[in-house]
Structure 1
Amino acid sequence: MEQILLLITIFASFVFSGRCSVSDVYNYSRNDFPEGFVFGSAFSASQWEGAADEDGRTPSIWDTFAHSRGGPNGDIACDGYHKYKEDVKLMYDMGLDALRFSISWPRLIPSGRGPVNPKGLRFYKSFIHELKRHGIEPHVTLYHNDLPQVLEDEYGGWIDRKIIDDFTAFADVCFKEFGNVVKFWTTINEPNMLAMAGYDIGSGPPVHCSPPFGLFNCSRGNSSTEPYIALHNMLLAHASTARLYKTNYKDKQNGSIGITCFGFWVIPFTSSEEDKIATQRAKDFLLGWVLHPLFFGDYPDVMKRIAGQRLPSFTEEESHLVKDSADFLGLIHYRTTYIEHSSSSLHEDYLSDMSGLIIPIGNSTAVKLHVLPWGLEGVLEYIKQNYGNPPVYILENGRPTNHDSSLNDVGRVEYLGAYIAAVLNSVRNGSETRGYFQWSFMDLFEVIDTNYTYGLYYVNFSDPQLKRTPKTSAFWYSAFLNGTQQESKNLSVSSSPGFASQ
């Protein structure tokens, strides 16, 4: 281990000595973070495991979506199902405190409900054991976009309330089998993004939408109602699962349970009053859609006013069940955008209801992200000010690069260095942020654009052995985690006026 760290230090010093210049230098180390602050990395089952039809696993809606496009798919992915010991060793050598990963519902319970797959169960027990043996804390996400296809076919998945009982039963198996070791549970990954992409514009599984709102040709769906119904059922499934955990397992297993929210940060496109109002409305639609029910027991008033009867309502019992159901909030953040008021009077789907145009800053695209760390500070400050400053774990943050580009991914290093500095600033300003998980540990099967990946490790998908090779970002993150980087060489970006002045 000492030899590895020495090589990392030498390599990092070589890479950053005069090669990357940025305006303002953040001089910090991990020792500047509070004691117990967790640094990790992350991936999901469907993007890492592969072995899609092995040992009893059945298809998920993610598999169906990938295959429907006729291009690359996740059938093999990184072959983590077979290479997990090798990968855990890489995590250990890097110095990760923790790993965020998900459990594949169709691998553990192939029929969606009922009998547990013994081979799937054995895999997850072995994987978790390997992590713990190397001192890496498992942070488990129960649902990361991979609903068993059989449940989608049977009753429509998240748009039917039957999903609440089926998801709770799946979670019960996980708590029972893994809860003596796993202390951090996240129920559902980014429900706001899943509802918008999967049920309004049809850009993600299960590809539901209706004209004229969908970006793609959807064979079924109703963009006017289904996004709201799907997210409503996700919140109720989360709350049901949290109640189960807190009633039957929490005291014995001494763990905690939360849910994530995809955290756009938005700023007005102009200084006009209309754009300022539209930006607050966008915050309510993009963040409040999930956070208001979790902390206040109901949706934001502006959503109820605009969507009307298309937005499901909580019964009094459901409101109490959802409110305060999360021990922590998992935040997923990648980008900051402008919001411009839209004068359209059409209010028939989630995005048109928001009445705000999402405008990229500069030449940002879905796979080319500007380094705007003040946006992450903005989200954390907004959560602190408006939702009682709950415990927050940043469960995804990272930057994609072309998969075939250089291993010397200094742009990713710049991004990570700046955003980790933003987290430190937020903590110093009183945010209860308790952990940061970089996305992703290695190049994964990515759906938005399979040519762009987020990994610290390059995976050669053309190699039958799927060889893993560290990028510059892997050396940098390891040096940071182990306290061996030279503070004077830390990466940073030019400071913006910051969220407070936006």
Structure 2
Amino acid sequence: MANQNNLLMITGNDDTLLNHNTNTPTIPDVKRADFPEDFVFGAATSAYQVEGAWNVAGKGLSNWDVFTQCDPGKIADGSNGCTAINQYNFFKDDVALLKKLGLQSYRFSIAWTRILPGGRLASGLCKAGIKYYNDLIDSLLAEGIEPCATLFHWDVPDCLELEYQGFLSRRIVQDFCEFVEVCFWEFGDRVKRWITLNEPWSFTLQGFTLGLFPPSRGATAIHFGNALKNFPRHRTKPGPRPISTAGNPGTEPYIVAHNLILAHAHAVDIYRKRYQTVQGGQIGMTNVSTWCEPLTDTEVDKEAASRAIDFMLGWFVAPIVTGDYPESMRENVGERLPEFTEEEEKLVKGSYDFLGINYYTAHYASNLPPPPGQPHNYQTDQRVKFSTERNGMPIGPPADSDWLLIVPWGIYKLVTYVKNTYEDPIIYITENGVCEKNDKTLSVPKSLYDETRIRYHNDHLSYLKKAMDKGVRVKGYYIWSLFDNYEWSEGYTVRFGIFFIDFVNGSLTRFPKRSAIWWMNFLAQKPVIPLKKQAKATDQNGQGSVKRLRSN
């Protein structure tokens, strides 16, 4: 089995750098000069998480607008992204921050309902929305920053959910194509890197298996509590949840994924046939994956680890590379896994110029036979148990989202696996980052100390460089995230940004954390600030002054 063989090539300690013990010696500091001159360093956000302005200037309602306001109990702190960090009004200041840091690219998403409020072209264009993105793109280019635009980051027009259940229907493909073609037409003369879908696995599983994202379908009792150990958790908190009786978790995730893949392929086809030659851009898809390490050296656990990656990454990458789903999915899901027609296979296969990879963490994986009589669902199909410890030793130290353990060597193994399994593609790391708790008892100055984040980025870059030295074709790296923002079902309870956002008094002022200063020095090829020598930030209430890079 090809995927398993490629997994076996990179499991185990192939040298001293790949030490899975959390007491690994300090990884060497990286320098900008360690990476090629044309290597792209950028930062990422998404529309719902940062823009705000949810109902201004003709914007239509998205699924997240409705979900968070009508069902706030699904969000950890009952919050929503109606204001978020108000980038809609502060984007010029934010572009100036990107410039000050020295970042070369900004990855943002285009809100479908800010362009087509009614979800499709026949319902009319929103000129104000088009102007907003034109202004953002022009501001970026004026500062020498490359725009990287994501076309779908989980915000479906609510009207299409009401009309035909969104991505549960094949009808979504045509409407998505109308949206993306408007974007290519309006922005493609300046946007040279397009991402069709962001983390379709997260959208599919959270919305149609766990029921934690809109449209909140598929959740049953087995998916909660200890059963989450049978799920590669990503942006998911443990604990009791409201249980939805809507949907069928044995079939709907596969239908939704199939429609997402077809929407992607048709969008790429439109771009290649009508725009790419003239506009000269590239287009791809971004997928998330944990690295899955076999819990033991047994064949069944090695197969389980391979299968886990198939069911997360391969589910969406294998079709666009090979034209079909992974063999392990065909075998375990059977006739519930949709088939591509001959024409669709031709359309889907090769529908990428690059692969975007979001990496955050790693797990151990072991074989888990399905319990007798259990209804079919993603977990029973996958047949994998996930754990964060081996022989009492954690795979990595925890961050403040308990799904995220810090495992830098996982990024090396993941991109090496992608190279070996999927025809040596061009890769961009489109998200990589770590969070801290949003501790409202801390003063702003104390909140700016994020040494863990500095070490996280340094160590992941070090392993990424190692992979590149061995021939993996990684061309760029995007920080998640530029700003603290709205983190989906976790609301504002955690902070991923290298800029602190003051949510408490409503000013939304941006303050650079120590990691932002680290990045500024790194990109300027200045010596990295040693953690123990970092200057103390102080506030403006008799304790000194905190540097504010934007004032209101």
Normalising by structure 2, report the TM-score. 0.82
Task: Work out the CA distance in 2 between the residues paired with 1:306 and 1:365.
Answer: 33
Contact kept? 2:398, 2:406, Cα under 8 Å: no
Match of 2:150 in 1: 141
Contact kept? 1:224, 1:348, Cα under 8 Å: yes
Residue 102 of structure 2 corresponds to residue 89 of structure 1: no
Contact kept? 2:27, 2:462, Cα under 8 Å: no
With 212-221 and 43-52 compared, the bigger mean Cα shift is at: 212-221
**Match for 1:238: what amino acid?**
H
Match of 2:298 in 1: 272
Contact kept? 2:30, 2:461, Cα under 8 Å: no
Deviation at 1:30, TM superposition (A): 1.1
Task: Sort the Cα spacing of 1:366 and 1:295 in 2 relative to 1 into closer, same or farther, 3 A.
Answer: farther
Task: Work out the CA distance in 2 between the residues paired with 1:109 and 1:85.
Answer: 24
Contact kept? 2:360, 2:406, Cα under 8 Å: no
Task: Give 2:45's match in structure 1, choosing from 33, 36, 43.
Answer: 43
Match of 2:118 in 1: 111
**Match for 1:427: what amino acid?**
M
Contact kept? 2:152, 2:197, Cα under 8 Å: yes
Task: Give 1:100's match in structure 2, choosing from 102, 107, 110.
Answer: 107
Aligned length: 471
Task: Give 1:258's match in structure 2, choosing from 276, 280, 284.
Answer: 284
Task: Sort the Cα spacing of 1:384 and 1:136 in 2 relative to 1 into closer, same or farther, 3 A.
Answer: same
Match of 2:451 in 1: 410
Match of 1:398 in 2: 433
With 181-190 and 191-200 compared, the bigger mean Cα shift is at: 191-200
Deviation at 1:489, TM superposition (A): 7.4
Contact kept? 2:220, 2:245, Cα under 8 Å: no
Residues 414-473 of structure 1: per-residue CA shift (max 9 Å, x gap): 111101111111111101110000000011011232210100110011223211101011
With 340-349 and 464-473 compared, the bigger mean Cα shift is at: 340-349
Task: Work out the CA distance in 1 between the residues paired with 2:301 and 2:518.
Answer: 40
Residue 379 of structure 2 corresponds to residue 351 of structure 1: yes
Task: Give 1:383's match in structure 2, choosing from 418, 436, 439.
Answer: 418
Contact kept? 1:371, 1:418, Cα under 8 Å: no
Match of 1:184 in 2: 193
Normalising by structure 1, report the TM-score. 0.90
Task: Sort the Cα spacing of 1:483 and 1:321 in 2 relative to 1 into closer, same or farther, 3 A.
Answer: same
- Identity fraction in percent: 38
Q: SS of the counterpart of 1:139? A: strand
Residues 91-240 of structure 1 mapped to structure 2, 5 A cutoff: 91-114=98-121, 115-215=124-224, 216-240=242-266
Contact kept? 1:28, 1:490, Cα under 8 Å: no
Match of 1:424 in 2: 465
Task: Work out the CA distance in 2 between the residues paired with 1:454 and 1:266.
Answer: 23
Deviation at 1:291, TM superposition (A): 1.4
Residue 107 of structure 2 corresponds to residue 65 of structure 1: no
**Match for 2:287: what amino acid?**
C
Deviation at 1:117, TM superposition (A): 0.2
Residues 266-290 of structure 1: per-residue CA shift (max 9 Å, x gap): 0112223321221111121112111
Task: Work out the CA distance in 1 between the residues paired with 2:50 and 2:133.
Answer: 13
Task: Give 2:30's match in structure 1, choosing from 28, 31, 35.
Answer: 28
With 212-221 and 119-128 compared, the bigger mean Cα shift is at: 212-221
Contact kept? 2:359, 2:431, Cα under 8 Å: yes
Task: Work out the CA distance in 1 between the residues paired with 2:399 and 2:297.
Answer: 24
Task: Sort the Cα spacing of 1:435 and 1:245 in 2 relative to 1 into closer, same or farther, 3 A.
Answer: same
Task: Work out the CA distance in 1 between the residues paired with 2:328 and 2:102.
Answer: 45
Q: SS of the counterpart of 1:229? A: helix
**Match for 2:349: what amino acid?**
K
Q: SS of the counterpart of 1:370? A: coil
Task: Sort the Cα spacing of 1:408 and 1:364 in 2 relative to 1 into closer, same or farther, 3 A.
Answer: closer
Task: Work out the CA distance in 1 between the residues paired with 2:181 and 2:325.
Answer: 28
Q: Which runs of 5+ in 2 are unaligned?
A: 1-22, 225-241, 534-552
Match of 2:501 in 1: 459
Deviation at 1:262, TM superposition (A): 0.9
Contact kept? 2:29, 2:459, Cα under 8 Å: no
Task: Work out the CA distance in 1 between the residues paired with 2:434 and 2:529.
Answer: 22
Q: SS of the counterpart of 1:145? A: coil
Deviation at 1:490, TM superposition (A): 11
**Match for 2:41: what amino acid?**
F
Residues 165-208 of structure 1: per-residue CA shift (max 9 Å, x gap): 10011000000000000000000111112111111111212211
Q: SS of the counterpart of 2:488? A: coil
**Match for 2:387: what amino acid?**
I
Task: Work out the CA distance in 1 between the residues paired with 2:278 and 2:532.
Answer: 43
Deviation at 1:371, TM superposition (A): 2.5
Contact kept? 1:367, 1:400, Cα under 8 Å: yes
